[in-house]
């Protein structure tokens, strides 16, 4: 037997019992007459005591053990003289009688502790050691639990879990595909799915009614901190539903997950139209943990002789409560420089401070105190508050002010840990005009339905009309992070063809790429819609973390590499030949 107990289990009431434990040597302290070892397993840590007076030979062996040796011991539970209140097993220790080394270990390249000294790449290369850290294990176990609760909730609502294929067909729409060469069909390629979108729609045509899957998706994009080339979605689709039905179902799922994993009750989720989110927060994923809404100043700031504002399409600002005295001229200069970095690209930053000594502003020359007081009124500003105002082209200025709002929120400590502010963002634009390629892109994806009222305009409208079409598409945002998105789908062949046409597909291309779906729509496709949640991201947000990497057992680094198995890697010439791939000679190993 390897163990009678886990390393987390023993308490004062076990004193006197003989027990067997197995685990890893976490730390060892040699105090001359006594050696203490912390034995670790997934569940916790138990202190072992080797006493020179009791068994000099055993104690001598214990002293020689290194970190991360795998041990099995038997011994007797005894009360500790100096207790450790920070550890569940801190009242006891084991007086060891027998010790067996199950496996030796090389000295690990970093410490396996809460705050490790290992950098990211080292931790990823030795992920099996990193996984032994309590913090990482907790994340992985949290993830497992979140998946379980997702399954429980969705199956209780009649959803059926269906697996869809990983080897599918490459499509030009969306992100770049990862492709897999086919040996049996030389010169042809599968693609790994960016999402099971078309399959889940086909399942609805197939009458499954409610589908879900916790599924890997693959996108060959440039990586950022919160992106991975393979990631997991909670993917869902439902038949005979309106947007309202989907929002309610997935609000229910989200509430259930918060309750089941964090014990948190979330109230009803507010809803905001996309246009309002852009106008009030400059973002389609506003962080509602704090207010600081945008207020536009065109009506009051233009026409007073300040050329910069006069020539701007939009003058808009935020009010930072209580910050007037926090920001000296030097601080404002620094903040302005922060806004002028190329990542943000603001030209300047105007401030208005409401202080006990009156109004102070960088544009005081152009505006009277009364003018500036009138601006303040629009924000509900009081003494001690500070307005920060930007101007320029509408979209860019909103984007920049969004960055400033978030930065001020961070600086002012307004993004509180443990505070969760979910939000539905509704009615995204259907199409996005891309100047560079001179064509429309689907804002969500090509299967998204326009709002009912817009169908007629979509079928018959001109180019400008298309830009204004709204989609039956929605996102769930929590604390400024997009957790998921979905839409009501087109289920009518004619409308779907029209959409492909707008997106620049010829009839032949649409038929070659999506003929199966268009075909399916001719055999009684029910009205349907769905949503997908980013599962890794949901894990991170629930834990108040930014990076999804810590919630993935084997993540890739920023170059898309798996540092542990060292992938991707070249393949042999023979393998290439078998696949009918003819790389230039120098590229073949
Ligand atoms: N397939 C979509 C995505 O991956 C989600 C959906 O529309 O259901 O974003």
For 413-473, the DSSP string reads T-S-TT---EEEEE--BSEEEETTTTEEEESS-TTBPBPGGGHHHHHH--HHHHHT-BBSE
| Mean pLDDT score of the chain | 95
Least confident piece of the model among 32-41, 363-372, 430-439: 430-439
Given a cut of 60, is residue 589 above it in pLDDT? no
Given a cut of 70, is residue 472 above it in pLDDT? yes
Provide the b/e sequence for 262-286 (b: ≥16 CB within 10 Å): eeeebeebeebebeebbbbbbbbbb
Query: 303-349 pLDDT, tens per residue?
Result: 999 999 999 999 999 999 999 999 999 999 999 999 999 999 999 99
Tokens of 270: 């507010």
Ligand 1 atom with the shortest distance to the CA of 235: 8
Query: Parallel, antiparallel, or unpaired for β 34-41 and 18-30?
Result: antiparallel
Beta strands across the sheet bearing 528-534 = 160-161, 210-218, 230-239, 528-534, 481-488, 473-478, 422-426, 271-273
Given a cut of 70, is residue 588 above it in pLDDT? no
Contact 528, 201 (CB under 8 A): yes
Amino acid 398: pLDDT: 98
Query: 231-271 pLDDT, tens per residue?
Result: 999 999 999 999 999 999 999 999 999 999 999 999 999 99
How far from chain centre, in Å, is Cα 184? Answer: 38
Given a cut of 70, is residue 585 above it in pLDDT? no
Given a cut of 60, is residue 586 above it in pLDDT? no
Whole-number Å distance, alpha carbon 530 to ligand 1 midpoint, is 8
> Residues enclosing ligand 1, CB less than 6 A?
195, 197, 445, 485-487, 530-532
Contact 269, 252 (CB under 8 A): no
Given a cut of 90, is residue 119 above it in pLDDT? no
Which residues have a Cβ under 8 Å from the Cβ of 308 and sit 6 or more positions away? 347, 348, 391
Cα angle value 519/522/525 (rounded, 5°): 105
| 18, containing H or E segment | strand 18-30
Ligand 1 atom with the shortest distance to the CA of 197: 1
Ligand 1 atom with the shortest distance to the CA of 196: 1
Residue of 130, 49, 62 lying closest to 96 (CA atoms):
49
Phi, psi at 386, each rounded to 5°: -135, 130
Amino acid 184: pLDDT: 95
d(CA 476, CA 293): 19
d(CA 331, CA 386): 13
pTM above 0.85, yes or no: yes
Percent of the chain past pLDDT 70, that is, above it, reads 98
Whole-number Å distance, alpha carbon 486 to ligand 1 midpoint, is 5
Q: Helix (H) and strand (E) counts for the chain? A: 18, 22
Task: Name the pLDDT band for 4 (thresholds 50, 70, 90).
Answer: very high
Query: 133-156 pLDDT, tens per residue?
Result: 999 999 999 999 999 999 999 999
Task: Name the pLDDT band for 502 (thresholds 50, 70, 90).
Answer: very high
d(CA 218, CA 560): 12
Domains present along the chain, CATH in parentheses: 12-103 (2.40.50.140), 290-411 (3.30.1360.30), 428-471+492-525 (no CATH)
Ligand 1, atom 1, residue with closest C-alpha: 197
Beta strands in 31-138, from DSSP E residues, in sequence order: 34-41, 44-51, 70-79, 92-103
Whole-number Å distance, alpha carbon 67 to ligand 1 midpoint, is 46
Given a cut of 60, is residue 106 above it in pLDDT? yes
Running DSSP on this structure, what letter comes out for residue 526? P
Q: Coil, strand or helix: which one is 545?
A: coil
d(CA 344, CA 335): 12
Whole-number Å distance, alpha carbon 473 to ligand 1 midpoint, is 10
Whole-number Å distance, alpha carbon 521 to ligand 1 midpoint, is 19
Query: 161-210 pLDDT, tens per residue?
Result: 999 999 999 987 678 999 999 999 998 999 999 999 999 999 999 999 99
Residue of 171, 160, 227 lying closest to 194 (CA atoms):
171
Query: Parallel, antiparallel, or unpaired for β 386-392 and 314-320?
Result: antiparallel
Candidates 235, 472, 474, 528: which one to mutate for ligand 1, based on the most atoms within 8 Å of Cβ? 235
Candidates 177, 444, 482, 536: which one to mutate for ligand 1, based on the most atoms within 8 Å of Cβ? 444
Please report the DSSP string for 115-147 in residue order. Answer: S-S--HHHHHHTHHHHTTSHHHHHHHHHHHHHH
Given a cut of 80, is residue 583 above it in pLDDT? no
d(CA 119, CA 130): 11
Ligand 1, atom 4, residue with closest C-alpha: 195
Whole-number Å distance, alpha carbon 478 to ligand 1 midpoint, is 17
d(CA 548, CA 442): 26
Tokens of 491: 């289920």
Whole-number Å distance, alpha carbon 25 to ligand 1 midpoint, is 46
- Residue 303 has a CB neighbour count (10 Å cut-off) of 10
Given a cut of 70, is residue 587 above it in pLDDT? no
d(CA 319, CA 386): 6
Amino acid 370: pLDDT: 96
DSSP bridge pairs for 25 = 39
d(CA 154, CA 157): 5
d(CA 151, CA 142): 14
Mean pLDDT of 540-559: 93
Q: Coil, strand or helix: which one is 296?
A: strand
Phi, psi at 31, each rounded to 5°: -110, 35
- Residue 499 has a CB neighbour count (10 Å cut-off) of 23
């Amino acid at each position: 037997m390897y163990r009678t107990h886990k390393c987390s289990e023993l308490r004062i009431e076990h004193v006197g019992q003989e027990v067997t434990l197995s685990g890893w040597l976490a730390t060892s302290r040699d105090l001359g007459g006594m050696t203490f070892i912390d034995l670790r397993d997934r569940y916790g840590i138990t202190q072992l005591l080797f006493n020179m007076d009791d068994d000099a030979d055993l104690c001598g062996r214990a002293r020689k053990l290194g970190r991360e040796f795998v041990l099995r011991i038997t011994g007797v539970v005894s009360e500790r003289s100096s207790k450790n209140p920070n550890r569940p097993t801190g009242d006891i220790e084991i007086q060891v009688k027998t010790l067996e080394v199950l496996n030796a270990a090389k000295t690990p390249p970093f410490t396996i502790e809460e705050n490790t000294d290992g950098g990211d790449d080292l931790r990823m290369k030795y992920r099996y050691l990193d996984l032994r850290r309590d913090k990482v294990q907790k994340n992985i176990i949290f993830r497992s639990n979140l998946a379980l609760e997702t399954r429980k909730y969705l199956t209780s609502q009649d959803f059926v879990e269906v697996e869809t294929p990983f080897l599918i067909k490459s499509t030009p729409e969306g992100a770049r595909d990862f492709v897999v060469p086919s040996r049996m069909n030389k010169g042809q390629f599968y693609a790994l799915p960016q999402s099971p979108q078309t399959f889940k729609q086909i399942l609805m045509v197939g009458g499954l009614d409610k589908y879900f899957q916790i599924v890997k998706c693959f996108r060959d994009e440039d990586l950022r901190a919160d992106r991975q080339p393979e990631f997991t979605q909670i993917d869902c689709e439902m038949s005979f539903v309106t947007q309202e039905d989907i929002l309610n179902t997935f609000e229910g799922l989200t509430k259930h997950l918060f309750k089941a994993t964090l014990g948190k009750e979330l109230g009803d989720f507010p809803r905001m139209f996309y246009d309002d989110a852009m106008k009030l927060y400059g973002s389609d994923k506003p962080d509602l943990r704090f207010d600081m809404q945008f207020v536009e100043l065109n009506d009051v700031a233009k026409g007073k002789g300040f050329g910069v504002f006069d020539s701007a399409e939009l003058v808009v600002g935020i009010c930072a409560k209580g910050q007037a005295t926090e920001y000296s001229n030097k601080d404002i200069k620094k903040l302005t420089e922060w806004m002028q970095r190329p990542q943000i690209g603001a030209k300047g930053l105007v401030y208005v401070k409401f202080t006990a000594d009156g109004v102070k502003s960088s544009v005081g020359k152009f505006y009277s105190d009364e003018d500036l007081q009138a601006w303040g009124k629009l924000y509900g500003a009081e003494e001690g508050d500070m307005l920060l105002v930007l101007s320029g082209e509408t979209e860019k200025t909103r984007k920049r002010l969004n960055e400033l709002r978030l930065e001020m929120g961070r600086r002012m400590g307004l993004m509180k840990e443990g505070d969760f502010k979910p939000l539905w963002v509704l009615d995204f634009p259907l199409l996005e005009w891309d100047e560079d390629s001179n064509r429309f892109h689907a804002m969500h994806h090509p299967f998204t339905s326009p709002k009912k009222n817009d169908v007629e305009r979509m079928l018959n409208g001109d180019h400008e009309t298309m830009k204004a079409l709204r989609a039956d598409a929605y996102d769930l945002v929590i604390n400024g992070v997009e957790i998921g998105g979905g839409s009501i789908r087109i289920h009518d062949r004619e409308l779907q063809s029209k959409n492909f046409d707008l997106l620049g597909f010829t009839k032949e291309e649409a038929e070659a790429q999506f003929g199966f779906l268009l075909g399916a729509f001719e055999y009684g496709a029910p009205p349907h819609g769905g949503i997908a949640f980013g599962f890794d991201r949901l894990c991170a947000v629930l834990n108040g973390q930014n990076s999804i990497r810590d919630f993935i057992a084997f993540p890739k680094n920023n170059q898309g590499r798996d540092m542990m198995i060292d992938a991707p890697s070249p393949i042999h010439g023979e393998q290439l030949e078998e696949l009918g791939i003819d790389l230039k000679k120098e590229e073949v190993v």
